Chain A
Amino acid sequence: MAAPAAPATAGRIALRHRLADRGMDRTLLLLVPAVVFIVALFIYPFVYGLQLSFQPQPGSETVQRYGSGPFADYHAFFADSYLRNTIWTTLKLSLPAGLFNVIASVPIAYRMRGKFRGKRTITTILVVPITLGTVLTAEGLLAFMGPTGWLNRLLIDVGIVDHPVRFTHNYWGVLFSLIISGFPFAFLLTLSYLSGIDPTLERAAATLGAGWWQRFRFITLPLLAPGLAITFCLTFVLAFSVFPSAVMVGDPSGTTRVISIAAFHAAFEQYDYSMASAIAMIMGAVELIVVGLVLGWRASLYRGASGGKG
């Protein structure tokens, strides 16, 4: 009785071992929640939106003007300069915001690495804006930088300007708000990339005659650049999807009519979900192009170990 059972057991064990060799064992089950989450909240809506964008809504303006072919909504978007220009409007906000956040975070993170008293306090202050929602940030900006806000009162009292300067309800208001909400991300990422660079490398460079700028230029910056590329991509994508602040502190019908406003307009004012989906897809494509260019540049950099002890 036992004799025939033995080979079967051996076979089962062998199979399990063979699977384990390829990294397949029961710990894979830990991935289930993540897979469900991604499929339900990302892949399904994305695919749904993608197919919706190829089915122009009957009776919509698109169908009347460009027919009901699968690319009619895309055709409509690029034919209408009012829609098409939202790409540039958004890029004009998100590229400078992303660049500024990365460039500004480098010197601050550079100064903040290592240990010193009060580091935790300063980090907390720098990171607090993450916890404020965009709406709160926008409200704050209106109160602080509006025509009767503290900033303008100060500028007038000091005598720098005669009339209140317009900081809000225009391009600058949105840019400020993107910087306030994007900088903490950029700073935290840059700080962690910088902390990963072995500080003895700079000391070695110093003993070889490199001054602080040369140490930064030839040692730290090249080792940090791949991390900065990733940081830029993340803050850029965050800024590209700007919506509440473009409405609240911007000029949503003019200089800050960003692409997400166009999508919102199509979906909830014209009830043209196909057009809204097409705009969302275009939005994604533009982001992918920018991210792809940055990552392509990053691939040409040194990306190996950057020291660290041992």
Chain B
Amino acid sequence: MSGSKISELRLDHVSRGFGEVLALDGLDLTIEGGEFVALLGPSGCGKSTALNCLAGLLPLTGGSITLDGRRIDTLPPEQRGFGMVFQNYALFPHMSVRANIGFGLKMAKVGKAEAQRRVDEAVRLVQLGDHAAKFPGQLSGGQQQRVAIARAIVLEPALVLMDEPLSNLDAKLRLEMRTEIRRIHQTLGLTTVYVTHDQEEALSLADRLVLLREGKVQQVGPPETVYTEPANRFVAGFMGYRNELELPVSPGSGTAVGDKTVVLGDLTGTRREDLGETAVAAIRPEDFTVGDGPNAMEVDVEVVEFQGREQAVQARTAGGDELHLRVQARLAPGDRVTVSVPPERVLVFAADSPAAPEEVA
């Protein structure tokens, strides 16, 4: 472990507007040295804007960025000393793999012998030994990605920025490179900011997640917390709480039992924020179990998808609500079964808080 070169990167109310639209609206974030932070959100949430602002490729329209107390948001990208991995890799097509990786060292006027040693080290780290003399056009997508990563980390930058680096790879390579990125982060301990729209990627890689929506932070926290205790309906939807049941809150029935537990009609759940007139109960498909238990409800099975150990089931409640379940029990379309879910896994949000967009829900 070589450890991080910085102790603290502070973003104070960082904003960036395009014309009338605020792509990034007052982002406050403090990143500690060695941390792996993922900016997560649907497309257009401002995560790439935030990354480009950090890299210096986009000027801020408001706020400031300080690195260990030194203000850096006024510096051009070449003076920030951050490494960046681009979505399309942006490898220099006219340079060999070695020349690509060594480009930053050449710009920094590192001596020939020293540069050679560090390029060798980086090539070894990303396991590209056999391909070092090739040109980017001769490499596969995964290999190009390795070059891009090696090029960004060879300078041991204060901060590594990654802009959806895995989105151009196929599913198998994506898993492989994900492990690779995690391994490199564990080896070098470089402070990293990682942008993605894939919650699984963010959860598996990051020490801390920042969820963004329309340029505003929705929740910041470690993966575990964001996964089990989403702050609002949007985060819940993004984190895989696919079932959203709208329920009326009447003064009589919607009484809070204890501090957090609420009873809404037949459903008992855990309140996550102040409720208005209607509430939304968000439930993860895998939190349902078949059989009697708390919050038992009878459903008609409509569609069944085989998914190995489990089945993904689409069912309908007596009230006509659609439910998504992931259960181990083998069900068939047309079955009428009773399912249940523990109250602590039923998260209740105010209905007027914004939902996650459809494609990721």
Q: Which residues of A approach B to under 8 Å, CB–CB?
A: 198, 200-201, 203-211, 214, 218-219, 222-223, 302, 304-307, 309-310
- How far, in whole Å, are A305 and B90 apart by their CA atoms in the complex? 12
The reply to whether A307 and B94 form a contact with Cβ atoms under 8 Å apart is no
| Chain A, Cβ-Cβ closest to B106 | A218
Q: Evaluate contact between A302 and B93: CB separation under 8 angstroms.
A: yes
The closest CB in chain B to the CB of A309 belongs to: B88
Name the CB-closest residue of A to B157.
A207
Contact B135 A203 (CB under 8 A): no
Q: Are A206 and B90 in contact (CB under 8 A)?
A: no
Contacts of A219 in B (CB 8 A): 92
Alpha-carbon distance between A218 and B100 when the two chains are bound, in angstroms: 11
Cβ of A198 and Cβ of B107 under 8 Å apart?
Answer: no
For the complex formed, measure the closest distance between the CB of A304 and the CB atoms of chain B, giving whole angstroms. Answer: 5
Chain A residues near B152 (CB-CB < 8 A) = 207
Which residue on chain A has the smallest CB distance to residue B161? A207
The answer for the CA separation of A47 and B104 in the assembled complex, in Å, is 56
Task: Contacts A206-B56, A209-B155 given; indicate if A201 touches B92 (C-beta within 8 A).
Answer: yes
Contact of A200 among B88, B108, B155 (CB under 8 A): B88
Query: Is the CB–CB distance between B93 and A209 below 8 Å?
Result: no
| Bitwise interface map of B from 140 to 165 toward A, beta carbon under 8 Å scored 1, else 0 | 00000000000110010000010000
7 closest A-B pairs by beta carbon, nearest first, are A302-B94, A208-B104, A204-B90, A209-B107, A206-B77, A207-B84, A200-B90
Chain B 149-183 residues near chain A, CB threshold 8 A: 151-152, 155, 161
Q: 16 interchain pairs (CB within 8 A)? A: A198-B90, A200-B86, A203-B57, A203-B84, A206-B78, A208-B78, A208-B107, A208-B151, A208-B155, A210-B103, A214-B107, A223-B93, A304-B137, A305-B93, A307-B88, A309-B88
Give the residues in chain B near A209, CB-CB below 8 Å.
78-79, 81, 104, 107-108, 155
Q: Does B82 contact A (CB under 8 A)?
A: yes
Contact residues in A for B108 (Cβ distance below 8 Å)? 209
Residues of chain A within 8 A of B77, CB atoms compared = 203, 206-207
Kindly state whether residue B76 has any CB partner on chain A within 8 Å.
yes
Residue B55 at the chain A interface, CB threshold 8 Å: yes
| Separation of A95 and B102 alpha carbons in the complex (Å) | 38
Are A208 and B103 interface neighbours, CB within 8 A? yes
Nearest residue (CB) in B for A198 is B90
B83 beta carbon closer than 8 Å to chain A: yes
Q: What's the minimum C-beta distance from A290 to chain B, rounded to whole angstroms?
A: 25
The chain B residue with its CB closest to the CB of A200 is B90
Q: Is there an interface contact between A203 and B90, defined as CB atoms closer than 8 Å? A: yes
Q: Contact at B135–A205, with CB atoms within 8 Å?
A: no
Contacts of A302 in B (CB 8 A): 93-94
Q: Is the CB of B93 within 8 A of A204?
A: no
Closest to B109 in A: A209
Contact mask B299-338 → A, CB, 8 Å, 1/0?
A: 0000000000000000000000000000000000000000
Q: How far is it, in angstroms, between the C-alpha of A205 and the C-alpha of B57 when the chains are bound?
A: 11
User: When the two chains form their complex, are residues A218 and B103 in contact, meaning their CB atoms are under 8 A apart?
Assistant: yes
Cβ-closest chain B residue relative to A208: B104
In addition to A203-B57, A209-B81, A209-B104, 13 A-B residue pairs with Cβ atoms within 8 Å of each other are A200-B90, A203-B86, A207-B56, A207-B57, A207-B77, A207-B83, A208-B103, A208-B151, A210-B107, A223-B93, A223-B94, A304-B93, A307-B90
B16 to chain A, nearest CB (A): 16
Is A211 within 8 A of B78, CB to CB? yes
Q: Which residues from chain A contact B81 at a C-beta distance below 8 Å?
A: 209
> Which listed residue (A205, A207, A211) contacts B92, Cβ 8 A?
A205
Q: Is the CB of B90 within 8 A of A222?
A: no
Complex CA–CA separation, A113 to B135 (angstroms): 27
CB distance from A115 to the nearest CB of B (A): 13
What 0/1 pattern do residues 47 to 89 of B give for CB contact below 8 A with A? 0000000011100000000000000000011111111101010
Q: How far is the CA of A206 from the CA of B94 in the complex (A)?
A: 17
Is B93 within 8 A of A306, CB to CB? yes
Point out which of A204, A206, A223 has the most chain B C-beta atoms below 10 A from its C-beta: A204
- In the complex the two chains form, is A207's CB within 8 Å of B93's CB? no
Which residue of the partner chain B has the closest CB to A226? B94
Chain A residues, Cβ within 8 Å of B82: 207
Min Cβ gap B106→A in Å is 8
Which residues of A have CB within 8 Å of B57? 203, 206-207
| A219, B78: Cα distance in complex, Å | 14
Residues of A contacting B55 in the complex (Cβ-Cβ under 8 angstroms): 203, 207
Residues of chain B within 8 A of A214, CB atoms compared = 107
Task: Check B76–A198 contact: CB distance below 8 A.
Answer: no
Q: Which residues of A contact B103 (CB under 8 A)?
A: 205, 208, 210, 218
Q: Which residues of B contact A306 (CB under 8 A)?
A: 93-94
Query: In whole angstroms, how far apart are the Cα atoms of A10 and B241 in the complex?
Result: 62
In the complex, the answer to whether B88 meets A310 with C-beta atoms within 8 Å is yes
Contacts of A307 in B (CB 8 A): 88, 90, 93
Give chain A residues whose Cβ lies under 8 Å from the Cβ of B88.
198, 200, 307, 309-310
Chain A positions within 8 Å of B91 at CB level: 204
Residues of B near A305 (CB, < 8 A) are 93, 137
Q: How far apart sit A309 and B137, CA to CA, in the bound complex (Å)?
A: 14
Chain A residues whose CB sits within 8 angstroms of the CB of B56 once the complex forms: 206-207
**Residue in A209, A210, A223, A304 whose Cβ sees the most chain B Cβ within 10 Å:** A209
A306, B88: Cα distance in complex, Å: 13
Contacts of B151 in A (CB 8 A): 204, 208
Residues B34-56 near A (CB distance < 8 A)? 55-56
